[in-house]
Amino acid sequence: MQRTLSLFAVSLTLFGTILPSTAWSAELPDIVVYLADDLSANDLSTYGGRGIETPSAEKLARAGMTFDRAFVASPSCAPSRAALLTGLMPARNGAEENHTYPHKELLKLPRLLNRMGYQTAAFGKVAHNKSAKDYGFEVINLQKDFPDLQTNVADFLTTRKDSRPLALFVGTSNPHVPWPADGTIPPNEIDLPSKLLDTPQTRVQRSRYMHEVRELDLYLGKLRDLASKTLGSEHVFIFSSDHGAQFPFGKWTLYDEGIRVPLIIDWPGRTSPGTHTDAMVSWIDLLPTIIDAAGGALPEGIDGRSFAAVLDNSAESHRKAIFTTHSGDRKMNVYPSRSVRTRRYKFIHNLHPEFAFTTHIDLLVRTTSGDYFLEWQELAKTDAVAARTLAAYHGRPEFELYDLATDREERTNLANSPEHAGAMEALKEKLHDWMKQQGDAGTVFHPPLLLDAPETWRARK
């Protein structure tokens, strides 16, 4: 259902000024945002898939617009979600490393929606941990696991009495670890990402991960049906993920496997059914896009920019460059890196190449997630490919440059290529200028583990 938008001035501001909307609407649509947790775009059949079908995502894509180049601001949970809900990059909103949160004084998306006339609700993992109340959601339920999440959302929607339009955010824990002990997908039937070593336990854990991908897709269909029954057919539906999968060269990295995410939007009256766009957009752009397309006033001074014009096909492009930052995940991953991505090139600056890249995968080797890494380590003793893979996982050069036109999997580092020296220097300058503008000091938040001291690579509190 839609309600008439009363014309009023928004008194609270983010950095001092509220700008008038560029896409004023006379009505407020109900909005449903469904977020996966640790899902790479390539793992949905909508984006090419890896061995399983995701029919609910396919159905949503047929109804709305699929973004083929959507990226997060940071490849770990808390910074990514903070960027979504503030429209600001991590250095500016304050949530730089994982398990940190944005400055309290910032005006965030739920409060902006409140002041437009929305009721706001967060079910499951929308914000990180218990921080949903700090973002200003009015209704909060933190149960993120199926089937309780489904039950709680259904109870809320079917018994809701509030007459205001609804902005409902639903975040599942799928396919975040731990993965189930028993999956439904045979390990020998899945397709592994090419950078992963093909070992028996890698396939087992990958099949468990894909089981959770299938499960979150199943709920995507159920949530859409429930929303249509309770909110009507004209509601907005947005589906995305906070970053890539928890496998080597995915989560915690600035490769596309870590930062490129699914984004599918069905906005009746604005998106054309079954359309794709290769416009480059960032998660920081979702805040101004939602506000703008619903007819609200845009905060001045945020990093995000509305891509409402892309939604209604009046623009084919949005950003010329995507900036991404990673500042670490407490003591499990102390490896600050920054990147800039254009349509053709990806430039990564690993700020401290003398640090060892470690994560929960290799430091914990849990039976519910990363125990395959033990197979990798054993294989690396006798297999040259495995040895190179482990070396590339733990150690990165200071500068990485990839020509995405010919190397979509980011395998050939061109940072030292004379032929690409001009592109390299231009992107390096662009990234470092942007870091200065952001006030990004490249902070190292914890003592690192060093690349030349592998005997110290152990989990730390």
- DSSP letters along 98-166, please? TT----TTS--HHHHHHHHT-EEEEEESSSSTTTHHHHT-SEEE---STTHHHHHHHHHHHH----S-E
Give the model's confidence band at 42: pLDDT under 50 very low, under 70 low, under 90 confident, else very high. very high
% of residues, the chain, pLDDT over 70: 94
State pLDDT tens for residues 64-83.
999 999 999 999 999 999 99
How far apart (Å, rounded) are the C-alpha atoms in residues 443 and 428? 18
**pLDDT tier at 182, thresholds 50, 70, 90:** confident
Reported confidence tier of residue 183, pLDDT bands at 50, 70, 90 = confident
Residue 104 pLDDT greater than 70, yes or no: yes
What is the per-residue pLDDT across 330-378, written as a single tens digit (0 to 9) for each? 999 999 999 999 999 999 999 999 999 999 999 999 999 999 999 999 9
pLDDT for the residue 15: 44
Q: How many CB atoms lie within 10 A of CB 231?
A: 22
Residue with the bigger pLDDT between 15 and 234: it is: 234
Average pLDDT over residues 166-189: 95
CA distance 21 to 7: 12
- Provide mean pLDDT across the span 250-279: 97
- CA–CA separation, 461 vs 451, rounded Å? 19
26-314 CATH fold: Alkaline Phosphatase, subunit A (3.40.720)
Confidence grade of residue 293 (pLDDT, cut at 50, 70, 90): confident
**pLDDT at position 351:** 98
Q: Which amino acid is at 104?
A: K
**Distance (Å, whole) CA 322 – CA 72:** 9
Q: b/e map of 373-390 (b: 16 or more CB within 10 Å)?
A: beebeebbeeeeebeebb
What pLDDT, on a 0 to 100 scale, did the predictor assign at position 8?
A: 31
Residue 10 has pLDDT above 50, yes or no: no
Q: pLDDT tens digit string along 213-232?
A: 999 999 999 999 999 999 99
Segment 404-424 shows an average pLDDT of 97
Residue 309's pLDDT band, with cuts at 50, 70 and 90, is very high
Where does the pLDDT of residue 4 fall: very low under 50, low under 70, confident under 90, or very high at 90 and above? very low
Provide the whole-model pTM: 0.94
Stretch among 186-190, 314-318, 437-441 having the lowest mean pLDDT: 186-190
Q: How far apart are CA 186 and CA 207, in angstroms?
A: 7
pLDDT of residue 257: 97
Give the closest residue to 395 by CA, choosing from 355, 364, 348.
355
* Residue 50, pLDDT score: 72
pLDDT at 13: 45
Section 320-332 average pLDDT: 98
Residue range(s) of every CATH 3.40.720.10 domain in the chain: 26-314
Give the C-alpha separation, 206 to 356, whole Å: 25
Query: Average per-residue pLDDT in the chain?
Result: 93
DSSP state of 182: S
* Per-residue confidence (pLDDT) for residue 343, from 0 to 100: 96
